[in-house]
């Protein structure tokens, strides 16, 4: 168990939209950390049971996001009629949707620190009553399933099955910066065979395609955490082209990674390896031996279990760490992969690479969390009968980019789309 003075916050996560589509946005916000210490969690979610075998139409939805120290991003949703507001992690590493309930156990501490869903205050509530339990890599919970109307990014009336959390024994949830989790993984991963919210919205015609994308704002100032875009992506968020990588295991968003390099010296994942793009994981994780070698090559030294620190003053001279995906190198600079616990350049900083051994048959695996997904926009495309699922990656545009340049990018994108 981590020391009580450590603030625990879990993290959070195709073809683009066709001509004429209007993007629907879910904004992300930032939470100012002050002088609190970040202890990122592994974020590796495993279902409590084994996976089973595998009036908005075409308008994509934009959901604003919040963030904590450039490693934790969350946004707002509404549940019920009238909507009861919650802050959730939009998590590509799981497929269930849950929030705390007013019916939670009296000794379930996390319930008292977060918003709780009150079924008696909603005219659209429908009881299911099926019990569920979810075991995440850093916490567990159980409760009952219910049905309700979801409000997200301006969409109203999406009828979804969600979990009312009744018992959250893990302290991680008590100190979390969010109320619940909305999973964006594949249906195969969903505990209890529950249909994920994304699939439900597509089935009800609220989204034309099961595509979504994340832009995670990495600028150090301001409260804007970026956007989750449902139904497509916004070309103003990235520098084209997008590189698409096929999903190899449609449960988590798992792809084949060809290699990892540290500067010009160290090569990891030399024979290729599996990698998961997970918005619910703060850091980049990998097998302990390889992460130890990576952090040693950078000059880091061990801190907590699997985590490493470095002197903040060394950031400008740190070597790049590069990931080869889809035949393209995706580079991270020291500025990208070092997390400043305090705003000062003096003292110690947290390296964004954490050891995490995932046992067979699922592992070994790398997890590319928010440290990777901040510098790069990711487009998650579930595919269709003609094309399998895939992930598109492109370098994110800086928020410093002016409105004229962003409008030019959108115009260029529209001119280049097939009619």
Q: What span, in angstroms and rounded, lies between the C-alpha atoms of 117 and 121? A: 9
Q: What span, in angstroms and rounded, lies between the C-alpha atoms of 323 and 369? A: 13
Judge whether 198 and 186 are in contact, CB under 8 Å. Answer: no
Q: How many CB atoms lie within 10 A of CB 221?
A: 7
- Does residue 179 carry a catalytic annotation? no
**Residue 248: which H helix or E strand, with range?**
strand 238-250
Q: Active site residue: 91, 179, 199, 370, which one?
A: 91
- Does residue 91 carry a catalytic annotation? yes
Task: Look at the chain and count its residues.
Answer: 419
The 3-state DSSP class for residue 388 equals coil
C-alpha to C-alpha distances, 39 to 64, 91, 175, 301, 303, nearest whole angstrom? 24, 18, 11, 16, 10
Pairing of strands 348-351, 338-339: antiparallel
Q: What span, in angstroms and rounded, lies between the C-alpha atoms of 66 and 76? A: 9
Structure tokens at 119: 């079924």
Show Cβ contacts of residue 408 under 8 Å, excluding neighbours closer than 6 positions: none
Q: Active site residue: 179, 199, 234, 278, which one?
A: 278
Q: What span, in angstroms and rounded, lies between the C-alpha atoms of 149 and 161? A: 9
| Residues taking part in catalysis | 91, 278
């Amino acid at each position: 168990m981590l020391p009580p003075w450590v603030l625990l916050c879990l993290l959070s996560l195709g073809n683009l939209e066709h001509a004429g589509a209007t993007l629907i946005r879910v904004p992300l916000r930032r939470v100012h950390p002050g002088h609190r210490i970040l202890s990122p969690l592994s974020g590796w979610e495993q279902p409590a049971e084994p996976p089973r075998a595998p009036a908005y139409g075409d308008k994509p939805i934009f959901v604003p996001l919040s963030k904590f120290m450039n490693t934790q991003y969350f946004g707002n949703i509404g549940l019920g009629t009238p909507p009861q507001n919650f802050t959730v992690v939009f998590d590509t590493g799981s497929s269930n949707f849950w929030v705390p309930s007013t019916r939670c156990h009296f000794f379930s501490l996390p319930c008292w620190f977060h918003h709780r869903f009150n079924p008696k205050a909603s005219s659209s509530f429908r009881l299911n009553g099926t019990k569920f339990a979810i075991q995440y890599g850093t916490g567990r919970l159980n409760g009952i399933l219910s049905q309700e109307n979801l409000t997200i990014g301006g969409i109203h009336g999406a009828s979804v099955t969600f979990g009312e959390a009744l018992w959250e024994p893990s302290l991680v949830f008590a100190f979390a910066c969010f109320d619940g989790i909305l999973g964006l993984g594949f249906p195969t991963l969903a505990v209890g065979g529950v249909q994920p919210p994304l699939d439900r919205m597509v089935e009800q015609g609220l989204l034309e395609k099961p595509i979504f994308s994340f832009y995670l704002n990495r600028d150090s100032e301001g409260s804007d955490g970026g956007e989750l875009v449902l139904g497509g992506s916004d070309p103003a968020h990235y520098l084209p082209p997008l590189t698409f990588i096929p999903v190899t295991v449609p449960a988590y968003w798992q792809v084949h990674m060809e290699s990892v390099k540290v500067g010009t010296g160290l090569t990891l994942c030399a024979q290729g390896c599996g990698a998961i793009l997970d918005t619910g994981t703060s850091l980049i994780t990998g097998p302990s031996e390889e992460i130890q070698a990576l952090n040693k090559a950078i000059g880091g030294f061990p801190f907590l279990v699997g985590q490493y620190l470095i002197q903040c003053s060394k950031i400008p001279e740190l070597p790049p760490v590069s990931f080869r995906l889809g035949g393209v190198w995706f580079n991270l600079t020291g500025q990208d992969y070092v997390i400043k616990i305090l705003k000062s350049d003096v003292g110690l900083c947290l390296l964004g690479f954490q050891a995490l051994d995932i046992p067979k048959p699922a592992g070994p695996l790398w997890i590319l969390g928010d440290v990777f997904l901040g510098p790069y926009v990711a487009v998650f495309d579930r595919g269709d009968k003609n094309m399998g699922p895939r992930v598109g990656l492109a370098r994110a545009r800086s928020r410093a980019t002016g409105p004229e340049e962003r409008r030019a990018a959108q115009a260029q994108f529209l001119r280049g789309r097939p009619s």
